[in-house]
């Protein structure tokens, strides 16, 4: 993601911080600093602690996902929270339930650890509703412990709301999927999530809590996107990879001069071209962007010096749903397709997107035209 930088790597998961996170740091310093210059540093510290808890929450999701063989791209820290970017969510209800609950379980563990200490010290104030923000952000051990407790309670309750992309929305979908088809379960969960987002948005506007209103807009949009993603996967399950490879992809041989190969790439609609030997065996692929990068690096050799190896290889009998998932997991925009041991052509995500558009409009692949263009 643009405007972000790698901050750390924890348990094999890359942690990235978005540039706008600095806004949250400034806001927290002012909000929890009590308007005092001496308190700004402590307010910034509390903000960092808050996002550290968010990071641990997302690590819970990430580690649970990896247990089921789901690659984790990274964890992104944003002003509105954190996002563990999984290549996909598990489609088995039981597995999705575990992954969805792994994050809130981290917050619950903190609550169970801190609650006895805080209630023993400030139980009367908590029960009487007299625990003010000043006491939670006071620079002393008990104020810090109280802040940690309230942060984890808030994150636990907020994330368990039944709305995508919150954990509660995924828990709801998983529970519904035990009895209903996955697509139907997603549709119901997305509808409930959008309804809840509307309620939150109206409440945020009425109470002038514009942050809550922005979160509500995010939830509303994400709920719809989740429904569309599942519909896309279902519509692609009925299409085989071989059905969109008719005509085959344009190929190049390694003896073609590099500048002529580059010219063909620029004239073609294809994002990449395959390099094959005299027997039609696949040697690799070249892209215009890749060749430009090598030229900037000073490469001036034959075409073989510009060849890249694919991150994923597809089987022509696979469904487009499986192919799309594998390509997204490996972040591969184009992949070679084999029918058994024979190279059949290249498949790119743009082609899959065109198939999706046709399926959504109720049209068959006959309306697609040439999938590849020499």
Q: What is the pLDDT of residues 129-164, one digit of tens each?
A: 555 555 566 677 777 888 888 899 999 999 998 887
| 214 and 292 both lie in a single domain | no
Q: Are residues 96 and 223 in the same domain?
A: yes
Mean pLDDT of 261-269: 85
Residue 228 lies in a domain: yes
Residue 34's pLDDT is 60
Measured between alpha carbons, how far is 313 from 100 in angstroms, rounded to an integer?
30
φ and ψ at residue 257, rounded to 5 degrees: -60, 145
Q: Of 236, 264, 293, which one is at a domain's C-terminal end? A: 236
Residue 153 lies in a domain: yes
pLDDT mean over 300-322: 88
Residues 74 and 125 in one domain: yes
Residues 158 and 200 placed together within one structural domain of the fold? yes
In a shared domain, residues 68 and 103:
yes
Cα separations (Å) of 137 from 152, 156, 157, 373? 15, 20, 21, 63
On the question of a cis peptide bond just before residue 58, with omega within 30 degrees of 0, the verdict is no
CB 284 within 8 A of CB 308: yes
Q: What is the pLDDT of residues 7-28, one digit of tens each?
A: 888 888 888 888 787 777 777 7
191 and 288 share a domain? no
The pLDDT tens digits for 66-123 are: 999 888 888 988 877 788 888 777 878 999 999 999 999 999 999 999 888 887 776 5
pLDDT tens by residue, 55-77: 999 999 999 999 998 888 889 88
- 303 and 203 within one domain: no
Assess contact for 338 and 314: CB atoms under 8 A.
Answer: yes
Same domain for 310 and 189:
no
128: containing domain: 4-236
Q: Is residue 338 part of a domain?
A: yes
Q: How confident is the model at residue 126 (pLDDT cuts 50, 70, 90)?
A: low
Better pLDDT: 233 or 288: 288
196 versus 138: which is more confidently predicted?
196
Asked whether residue 373 is domain-assigned, the answer is no
Residue 148 lies in a domain: yes
Q: Which long-range contacts (CB under 8 A, 24 or more apart) does 327-331 make?
A: 327/352, 328/87, 328/88, 329/71, 329/87, 329/88, 331/73
The number of distinct structural domains making up the chain is: 2
Residue of 232 and 323 predicted with greater confidence: 323
Q: What pTM was computed for the model?
A: 0.72
Outline where DSSP puts E strands in 231-270.
251-252
CB 48 within 8 A of CB 22: no
Residue 373 has pLDDT above 50, yes or no: no
Confirm if 329 and 87 have CB atoms less than 8 A apart. yes
Statement: residue 165 has pLDDT above 90: no
pLDDT band of residue 370 (cuts 50, 70, 90) is: very low
**Helix (H), strand (E) at residue 73:** strand 72-78
Mean pLDDT of the chain: 82
Question: CA-to-CA distance for 286 and 303, rounded, in angstroms?
Answer: 9
Does 274 lie in the same domain as 230?
A: no
Does residue 276 sit in helix, strand or coil? strand
Residue finishing a domain among 236, 267, 298: 236
- Please report, rounded to a whole number, the percentage of residues in the chain having pLDDT higher than 90: 17
Q: Are residues 203 and 266 in the same domain?
A: no
- 171 and 39 belong to one structural domain: yes
Pair (168, 276) in one structural domain:
no
Classify residue 303: in a domain, yes or no.
Answer: yes
């Amino acid at each position: 993601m643009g405007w972000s930088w790698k901050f750390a790597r924890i348990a094999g998961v890359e942690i990235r911080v978005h540039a706008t996170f600095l806004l949250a740091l400034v806001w927290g310093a002012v909000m929890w600093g009590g308007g005092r210059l001496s308190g700004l540093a402590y307010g910034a510290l509390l903000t960092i602690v808050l996002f550290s808890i968010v990071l641990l929450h997302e690590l819970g999701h990430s580690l649970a996902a990896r247990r089921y063989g789901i690659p984790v791209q990274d964890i992104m820290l944003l002003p509105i929270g954190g996002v563990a970017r999984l290549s996909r969510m598990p489609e088995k209800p039981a597995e999705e339930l575990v992954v969805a609950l792994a994050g809130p379980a981290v917050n619950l563990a903190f609550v169970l650890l801190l609650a006895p200490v805080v209630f023993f010290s400030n139980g009367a104030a908590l029960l009487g509703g007299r625990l003010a923000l000043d006491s939670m952000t006071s620079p002393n051990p008990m104020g810090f412990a109280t802040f940690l407790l309230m942060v984890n309670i808030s994150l636990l309750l907020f994330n368990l709301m039944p709305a995508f992309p919150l954990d509660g929305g995924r828990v709801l979908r998983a529970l519904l999927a035990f009895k209903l088809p996955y697509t139907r379960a997603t549709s119901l969960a997305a509808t409930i999530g959008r309804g809840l987002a509307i309620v939150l948005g109206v409440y945020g506007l009425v109470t002038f809590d514009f942050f809550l209103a922005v979160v509500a807009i995010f939830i509303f949009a994400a709920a719809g996107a989740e429904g569309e993603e599942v519909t896309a996967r279902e519509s692609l399950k009925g299409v085989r990879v071989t059905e969109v490879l008719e005509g085959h992809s344009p190929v190049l041989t390694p003896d073609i001069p590099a500048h002529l190969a580059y010219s063909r790439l620029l004239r073609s609609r294809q994002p990449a071209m395959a390099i094959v030997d005299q027997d039609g065996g696949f040697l690799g692929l070249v892209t215009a962007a890749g060749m430009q990068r090598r030229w900037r690096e000073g490469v001036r050799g034959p075409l073989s010096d510009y060849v890249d190896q694919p991150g994923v290889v597809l089987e022509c009998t696979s469904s487009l749903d499986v192919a799309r998932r594998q390509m997204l997991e490996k972040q591969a925009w184009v992949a070679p397709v084999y029918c058994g041991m024979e190279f059949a052509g290249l498949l790119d995500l743009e082609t899959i997107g065109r198939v999706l558009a046709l399926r959504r409009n109720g049209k068959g692949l006959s309306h697609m035209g040439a999938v590849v263009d020499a």
